[in-house]
Homo-oligomer: A and B are copies of this chain.
Amino acid sequence: MERVMMKGNEALAEGAIRAGCRFFFGYPITPQNEIPEYMARRLPEVGGVFLQAESEVSAINMVYGAGGAGARVLTSSSGPGISLKLEGISYIAGAQVPCVIVNVARGGPGLGGLTPSQADYFQATKGGGHGDYRLLVYAPGNAQEMVDLMGLAFDKAEEYRNPVMILTDAIMGQMMEPVVLPPLRTVTAEQPWATTGKQGRKKPNLINSLGIVGEELERINIELQAKYDRMAAAEARYEADGTAEADLIVVAYGTSSRVARSAIARLRQEGKKVGLFRPVTLWPFPQAVLASLAADGKRFLVVEMSAGQLVEDVILAVNDRAKVSFFGKLNGTVPTVREVYDRIRSLLPEGGEG
């Protein structure tokens, strides 16, 4: 199969088109501009619509409209823009509208910088907008996964009628890697629940998240929570590389997982038993697997480009059954292979902390 070199951002965009996405609404922001720019060129070629919205707020509400109308629709942004989209994301989750949202994360807080970051993990997996809602969150580990998880994202969004987020970072989005592209899919915008005009239906379709009477809102939330439980049971994904035989397991995703992989490769050459656990879904977090690894007596090192976010989920999963160490790089900087290598070494039996 033919390999082509693509930037991660372009792989996401082409992956969406291959998955049948024909609508993109977004607003420029570095480091994800290749996505809208690619879409602007490419969507008209496949009969789709690219529209640059006047803001991220507007973009996410266009997505809400288009997704509610039954279409496969994508938007993408980074830190400040994702923050602006949160009201809309909460609406989309509450109204159970399928769509895919990409966050190519950059350093924060505030205006921050253009360098990669993993400090939007909480925002994607727990906090973010108001209310009890969940996104299915994928964290691709390479350009190929950018394509493949994008396809999955659209399918899952529709299956669960839930927004799906792809959380990646400036490095993953800007780097080029070879990818193999799947064939082009075409899907229709006809969903039985979507707004299309009544078209002979007895009951009009309604897309909303309003429960002005208390019990109505409780009903909505019970329905949502039941769905999240189903998702939690069925959708956790991860990559476990050498975790069974490992003494120490590094937990990392995205760019950190790649740096960790390089460090681990070096350590393995030296005969050390180090594994890599890479959550592919950040929500649902693959906690059962981690819990059982913890029960097997492993110890863990969480590497992330933040002050410590993923590490909370790891601790919650492991829940005092294993020791969890943390190596975080603050926003704006990426750990070097040597730093991670040194940190792992220091944790291994012969190392400092033992």
Listed in ascending order, the chain A residues whose CB lies under 8 Å from chain B are 57, 78-84, 86-87, 90-95, 105, 107-115, 117, 119-120, 122-133, 208-218, 220-222, 224-225, 228, 306-307, 309, 312, 315-316, 319-321, 329-333
Whether B221 contacts A331 by the Cβ 8 Å rule is yes
Given A90-B80, A319-B319, A320-B321, A123 and B127 contact (CB-CB distance below 8 Å): yes
Smallest beta-carbon distance A32→chain B, Å: 13
Q: Which residues of B contact A213 (CB under 8 A)?
A: 113
Residue of A79, A80, A132, A220 ringed by the most chain B CB atoms within 10 A: A132
Q: How far is the CA of A119 from the CA of B128 in the complex (A)?
A: 11
Given A225-B330, A319-B320, A122 and B122 contact (CB-CB distance below 8 Å): yes
Smallest beta-carbon distance A225→chain B, Å: 5
Q: Report which of B94, B127, B320, B331 forms a contact with A112, defined as CB distance below 8 A.
A: B94
Q: Report which of B84, B117, B131, B321 forms a contact with A117, defined as CB distance below 8 A.
A: B131
Q: How far is the CA of A93 from the CA of B94 in the complex (A)?
A: 28
Q: Report which of B110, B225, B315 forms a contact with A95, defined as CB distance below 8 A.
A: B110
Q: Which residues of B contact A124 (CB under 8 A)?
A: 127
Smallest beta-carbon distance A128→chain B, Å: 5
Q: How far is the CA of A59 from the CA of B212 in the complex (A)?
A: 26
Given A57-B84, A84-B87, A131 and B113 contact (CB-CB distance below 8 Å): no
Whether A108 contacts B126 by the Cβ 8 Å rule is no
Smallest beta-carbon distance A9→chain B, Å: 18
Question: What are 28 sample pairs from A and B whose C-beta atoms fall under 8 A apart?
Answer: A80-B130, A83-B87, A83-B129, A84-B84, A90-B110, A92-B110, A95-B110, A107-B217, A108-B129, A108-B133, A109-B132, A111-B210, A112-B210, A113-B212, A113-B214, A117-B131, A119-B130, A120-B131, A126-B127, A126-B312, A127-B127, A128-B128, A132-B307, A211-B332, A214-B332, A217-B332, A221-B332, A319-B319
Whether B132 contacts A108 by the Cβ 8 Å rule is yes
Whether B319 contacts A113 by the Cβ 8 Å rule is no
Whether A214 contacts B110 by the Cβ 8 Å rule is no
Q: How far is the CA of A82 from the CA of B129 in the complex (A)?
A: 8
Q: Which residues of B contact A125 (CB under 8 A)?
A: 127
Q: How far is the CA of A117 from the CA of B57 in the complex (A)?
A: 24
Closest B residue to A119 by CB, please name it: B132
Closest B residue to A312 by CB, please name it: B316
Whether B130 contacts A120 by the Cβ 8 Å rule is yes
Q: Report which of B57, B115, B131, B228 forms a contact with A79, defined as CB distance below 8 A.
A: B131
Whether A126 contacts B132 by the Cβ 8 Å rule is no
Q: Which residues of B contact A315 (CB under 8 A)?
A: 316, 319
Q: How far is the CA of A123 from the CA of B119 in the complex (A)?
A: 14
Q: Which residues of B contact A319 (CB under 8 A)?
A: 315, 319-320
Whether A330 contacts B107 by the Cβ 8 Å rule is no
Whether B332 contacts A215 by the Cβ 8 Å rule is yes
Q: How far is the CA of A112 from the CA of B83 in the complex (A)?
A: 19
